[in-house]
Amino acid sequence: MDQGEAETRLLDAAEELFYGRGIQAVGVDQIRAASGVSLKRLYQVFPSKADLVLAYLRRRDARWLAALTGYADARPEGDTRILAVFDWLHGWFGEPDFRGCGFINAFAEIGATDPAAAEVVRAHKAALRDYLAGLLQQAGRPQSLVDPLFLLAEGAMTTAAVTGSPEAALQARGAAAALLAAA
């Protein structure tokens, strides 16, 4: 097994286990077993669990943002595209393995003790905020709406995780539509 295949298998296993069970609850041996990669190869690819966590978060960031932007950017520019962010969240919240925002979860678990992981989480949240700012700019809407829309999205993620219901996205969408109508 070459380095690239080992890395992919390890990250696939890490994503499933870290997201599904939590970073601290999952040991390196569980990832090794789930990936089918030898312990020696695992440590060649990721010298520490912290390195694996960072790689997991970075890959999740790229995939998550690509899925969101791909969905929203396929909609007509303007308010429709802005509100599509909440439609995408609704679909994500309804997935059977939804367990909240992986970045909020990671920050809650290790943010206080792992500055590098905390920085990846902050960068992910900044990228979401920047994306919303770009959508508002494209729509000719005031930038003063960025933070309220960002907080609606973040609040919906947390509420959906706690309640187990995707309805938080629809409620946030309704609030976002009201903000846009009032602007």
User: Given this model, what pLDDT does residue 1 score?
Assistant: 80
pLDDT of residue 157: 98
Which of the listed residues 29, 47, 65 is the one where a domain comes to its end? Answer: 47
What CATH code is carried by the domain that includes residue 167?
Answer: 1.10.357.10
Asked whether residue 117 falls in the same domain as residue 93, the answer is yes
For residues 145 and 94, state if they share a domain.
yes
- Mean pLDDT of successive 10-residue stretches along the chain, which has 183 residues: 92 97 96 96 96 98 98 97 98 97 97 96 98 98 98 98 97 98 95
- Which pTM was predicted? 0.94
Same-domain pairing of 38 and 8: yes
Q: Are residues 81 and 138 in the same domain?
A: yes
Among residues 10, 26, 47, the one where a domain terminates is 47
Cα 62 versus chain centre, distance? 9
Q: Are residues 4 and 76 in the same domain?
A: no
Q: What is the CATH number of the domain that holds 13?
A: 1.10.10
Determine the 3-state secondary structure of 23 from DSSP.
Answer: coil
Question: What is the C-alpha separation between 137 and 90, in angstroms, rounded?
Answer: 24
Tell me, yes or no, whether 41 and 95 share the same domain: no
> Are residues 63 and 142 both part of a single domain?
yes
Give the residue carrying structure tokens 């970073």: 23
**Residue 128: partners with Cβ closer than 8 Å, 6 or more residues away:** 65, 68, 150, 153
Q: CA nearest 96: which of 19, 183, 155?
A: 19
Residues 80 and 159 in one domain: yes
30 and 63 fall within a common domain = no
DSSP secondary structure, 128-168, as one string:
HHHHHHHHHHHTT--GGGHHHHHHHHHHHHHHHHHH--THH
Domain count, the chain: 2
Range of the domain at 40: 1-47
CB atoms under 10 Å from CB of 43, counted, come to 16
Q: Are residues 61 and 34 both part of a single domain?
A: no
Which of 30, 47, 64 is the C-terminal boundary of a domain? Answer: 47
Using CA atoms, how far apart are residues 31 and 108, in angstroms rounded to an integer?
A: 21
- The pLDDT of residue 83: 98
Kindly state whether residues 42 and 59 are assigned to the same domain. no
Same domain, 113 and 137: yes
Long-range contacts of 49-52 (CB under 8 A, 24+ apart): 50/114, 50/116, 50/117, 52/10, 52/11, 52/14, 52/28
User: First and final CA of the chain: distance in angstroms?
Assistant: 56
